[in-house]
Amino acid sequence: MPIDLQDLSRRLFKTAEQLWTNTALRPDQYAQPVLALIALRQMEAKFDLVDAELGKTFSGRLKPTPADYQGRGAIFLPANARFSYLLGRPETENLAEALNEAMKGITEHNPDLAGVLPQGYGSLPNSVLRELMRLLAPLRVAGDAYGLIFEYFMGQFASAFMQKGGEYFTPSSIVKLIVEVIEPYHGKIFDPACGSGGMFVHSADFVRRHHKNPSREISVYGSEKMADTQKLCRLNLAVHGLSGDIREANSYYDDPHGMVGKFDFVMANPPFNQSEVDRDRLVNDTGKLDARFSLGVPTTNNANYLWIGLFSAALNEQGRAGFVMANSASDAGGSEREMRRKLIESGAVDVIVSTSPNMFFTVTLPVTLWFLDKAKAKSPRGDQVLFIDARHIFRQVTRAHRDFTPSQVEFIGNVVRMWRGEEEELEAGSGPKMTEVFGDDGYRDIPGLCKVASRAEIAAQGWSLNPGRYVGVAPGEQPDDQDFRERLETLQEELEGLNAEAERLHVIIAQNVAGVLAA
């Protein structure tokens, strides 16, 4: 009988709520220890598979080394650090202490995890730890099961502490679409706002799906300003058999990877509409604006175009980027319009995709996916941009949450591939839909779905990158409906921003009041 992943995730979070009620810990303090338990369950599942493989090679006194497991993408687990061993400890034994020793033993045998695994289980009640492990024990982790749990669990923590998009994780179907479009077969991948590392994990999945070894084909580099989230990223990579150079850094002010012109691929979900960036810190030692901000600095108190310029600057001459961006950035005026014009005139803007609302756990507003391709500028498509309106393409998972099915991701990816003159991919079942929409004649503009616009057409629209301005409406849909929807989405984005700011101020006020009362 298959596991109900959503039910299991809800029960996990309900158990974690006991920590909120019965301990003095904040959710941002217990997120990592709980997620490490989930990771340990996955580590053992992979360890057991590799152990069985190695058992066919090693016999008698000859035993595999930790390096043998690591070479096959598994974390080596000493006997006292295996999930099943810990779960079977007597009720009278101190499970928290056993977990601390287990995490220490894992780190000793897997140096890449130094500083990542938590050592603070002594502050968590044994009864809660046992209940968490019992809930995890029946799970048979296969395919994307671990990713779903990891994503849901982090989403619940993020909803309370990180309201703005991009500061923790990106839903897997959004990441898969980004990967599908930029096609990271081989090279260096960079995410300057890497959160939990989902972009890297799904890039590796893409490489595997095309019958290559990710550890040989791609190398990953990331920056993350939150120390705990940087650790989660490294943990997530390790659980998926990956390693990478993930630095704790604020990408506005720090450049630990020497990023300008270095990368084949950039993938990111930056925080939307962030304000109060210290502009004095964006200049280099000579007093000039750092080359990382290739489009300049906007006069508005909004960092969206700082991020866009940074993504563009990180690409080499053949590089591609795919990133999530607030809808408002597509039509922003003033200095941001001039920065957008500069980017469009460079020929690097490749594809723009609009999505429906409710694709994220933590915010309801729709987003836009931007794709850059530095090599396109010198191709026959150099002055063209492909716009795709995917707001009507989604699966309704719950009343408040949507995603893309694998077939829908493949379908949108195939629209891009047809326009580029590449071969379609049909493994996920998008073939019938492709035939229904496009027939057998290759790419063509489809009202309500996709449109190729020239640079002159984009200039006539005030350099807008809003797909709705170009794609038009599907047969039977009224243009007024489209205009109303765009206005409503703009208002919704403003409301989301105000709600996030209100939440931030609420936390600050609560902390200040607590400080006054404790004085």
In sequence order, what DSSP letters do the residues of 440-469 get, joined into one string? Answer: TS----BTTTEEEEEHHHHHHTTT---THH
CA angle 28, 34, 36 (to 5 degrees): 110
- The identity of residue 495, as a single letter, is L
How would residue 73 be classed by pLDDT, with cut points 50, 70 and 90? confident
Domain spans in the chain, listed from the N-terminal domain onward = 5-159, 163-469
Residue 25 has pLDDT above 80, yes or no: no
Architecture of domain 5-159: Up-down Bundle (1.20)
Higher pLDDT, 90 or 490: 90
pLDDT one-digit tens code per residue, 192-223 = 999 888 899 999 999 999 989 898 899 999 99
* Paired tokens of 270: 């930056």
How would residue 144 be classed by pLDDT, with cut points 50, 70 and 90? very low
pTM: 0.85
Higher pLDDT, 231 or 13: 231
Q: Give me the CATH topology for the region 163-469.
A: Rossmann fold (3.40.50)
Identify the pLDDT of residue 147. 52
Which region among 165-169, 307-311, 335-339, 502-506 has the lowest average model confidence (pLDDT)?
Answer: 165-169
Identify the pLDDT of residue 34. 77
Identify the pLDDT of residue 463. 97
Identify the pLDDT of residue 324. 96
* CA–CA gap between residue 97 and residue 80 (Å, rounded): 12
Identify the pLDDT of residue 164. 41
Query: What average pLDDT does the chain have?
Result: 86
- The identity of residue 237, as a single letter, is L
Identify the pLDDT of residue 143. 46
Which region among 346-355, 362-371, 440-449 has the lowest average model confidence (pLDDT)?
Answer: 362-371
484-495 mean pLDDT: 60
Contact 276, 303 (CB under 8 A): no
pLDDT one-digit tens code per residue, 102-140 = 999 999 999 889 989 988 888 788 888 888 888 777 766
Characterize 263-300 residue by residue with b for buried, 16 or more Cβ atoms within 10 angstroms of its Cβ, and e for exposed: bbbbbbbbbbbbeebeeeeeeeeeeeebebbbbebbee
**Residue 95 host element (H or E):** helix 95-109
How would residue 232 be classed by pLDDT, with cut points 50, 70 and 90? confident
Closest CA to 497 of 78, 154, 82, 163: 163
Higher pLDDT, 31 or 299: 299
* CA–CA gap between residue 361 and residue 156 (Å, rounded): 8
Higher pLDDT, 309 or 148: 309
How would residue 148 be classed by pLDDT, with cut points 50, 70 and 90? low
Q: Which residues contact 396 (CB under 8 A, 6 or more apart)?
A: 402
Residue 151 has pLDDT above 60, yes or no: no
pLDDT one-digit tens code per residue, 233-261 = 888 888 888 889 999 999 999 999 999 99
